[in-house]
Amino acid sequence: MRLRLIRHATLTIEYNGHKLIIDPMLDEAGARPPIQNSPNPRKNPLVPLPIPVAEVLEGVEAVLVTHTHSDHWDATAAELLGKSLPLFGQIEDQAKFRSQGFGAAQAVRESAVWNGIEIVRTDGQHGRGEIGKAMAPVSGFVLRASGEPTLYIAGDTIWCGEVQDALREHRPAVVVVNAGAAQFLEGDPITMTADDVIATCQAAGASKVVAVHMEAINHCLLTRADLGFQLEAARVEKAEIPGDGEWVESGV
């Protein structure tokens, strides 16, 4: 298994001999307005794709979407991805996928199996307090296959009991967390802060933690440099912060 950070939360994953794309955000830089009521009012995405979109999509056999906020599933992805591709997501998003023509969209209520890969849905919390309650439902997913390391994609969640439970139950070899400390003008962050990433690393034991979801959307305020500094200060070693376009090997 190996994965490639494309940009933000968009990953391509080579797993069990197949290529999947996770949370495809494929818009050109500056195609969308800033997130409303948020700091740093710049058009999104803040940065271009690191490679041509045709290269991103080359060989993709399935799609996995944690939720359909526009920074995880945008109109360009819905237009460019093949409508016959298997598309896995949470039950709340199935009507949207079907309305966009994805006839092979499948809701993962608990788990699904595709080409020898088991896909297990996990829970999370997309923020705290009233803002957390107002955010759309989100999911994470665990991928398992014979002979492959277990991969846990936490999705848009803060550090919480649901993430801790997923780590305990599935014992993943690799954990992908959405950092960036995304925030509105009021309320607490709705994705992982540096403290949340550190807590995840500490709870994950020997698992490799890969932090993504930074420097591409205007309300994500935590930079890679800041996160790296805080991880080093906390003496966290089993973590990676890839740049856009970089590959991450499983390391197991």
- Residues 39-80 have pLDDT tens digits of 999 999 999 999 999 999 999 999 999 999 999 999 999 999
Number of helical H runs and strand E runs in the chain: 7, 14
Q: What is the dihedral of CA 224, 229, 235, 237, to 10 degrees?
A: 30
Q: Which domain holds residue 183?
A: 2-244
Q: Is residue 195 part of a domain?
A: yes
Where are the strands (E) in the chain, listed by range? 2-7, 10-15, 18-22, 62-65, 87-89, 105-107, 111-114, 117-122, 140-144, 151-153, 174-178, 208-212, 239-240, 247-249
pTM, to two decimals = 0.97
For residue 251, what pLDDT band results from cuts at 50, 70 and 90? low
Instruction: State how many domains the chain has.
Output: 1
Q: Is residue 249 part of a domain?
A: no
Q: Is residue 206 part of a domain?
A: yes
Q: Is residue 252 part of a domain?
A: no
Q: Is residue 251 part of a domain?
A: no
Q: Per-residue pLDDT tens for 201-214?
A: 999 999 999 999 99
Distance CA 158, CA 181 (A): 9
Q: Residue 202: helix, strand or coil by DSSP?
A: helix
Output the domain CATH number for residue 99: 3.60.15.10
Q: Is residue 250 part of a domain?
A: no
Q: Is residue 229 part of a domain?
A: yes
Q: Per-residue pLDDT tens for 136-150?
A: 789 999 999 999 999
pLDDT score of 131: 82
